Amino acid sequence: MQISIRVVSGEYFPLIVVLAATLAVGAWIFLPAELASLTKTALASAFSCANLFLLSETGYFDVGAHMKPLLHLWSLGIEEQFYLVWPLALWLTPRSSRLLMRQQERNCSSIRKMKE
């Protein structure tokens, strides 16, 4: 759990710098409607759900990717969600299932040793 917290916290400072710089330049370049969309995307990115927000924004009449300067943050959202959800999912896994997975892992390693 500590590793996932360190990874997520290590990604947050550069993310905040990128979001602040993008919003500053966007305020200077974009029209009000485009700036509103950029602000929503930045807010979703700050809360690690840019992928879900961008998915909800896609459609036939959606603006082009060149008008979404934070589009690349969808993958960071997926990564952060993984680091937050996966340890919780493992913790919630029943103990019997974890023991079964360990036993299968030992069986696989013993089969590999026999082949060598």
- At 56-82, the pLDDT tens digits run 877 766 777 777 888 888 888 888 888
Q: Of 34, 94, 111, which is closest to residue 70 (Cα–Cα)?
A: 34
Phi and psi angles of residue 42, each rounded to the nearest 5 degrees, phi first: -65, -40
Residue 22's pLDDT is 93
Count CB-CB contacts under 10 A for residue 41.
24
Which tokens go with 65? Answer: 């990717």
Per residue in 27-64, pLDDT tens?
Answer: 999 999 889 989 999 999 988 888 888 888 777 667 77
Which tokens go with 19? Answer: 């979001």
| C-alpha–C-alpha distance, residues 79 and 40, integer Å | 20
Which tokens go with 79? Answer: 């990564």
The type of residue at 52 is L
Q: Of 24, 56, 29, which is closest to residue 42 (Cα–Cα)?
A: 24
| 86 contacts 4 by C-beta, under 8 angstroms | yes
Local structure of residue 94 (DSSP, 8 states): -
| C-alpha–C-alpha distance, residues 89 and 110, integer Å | 28
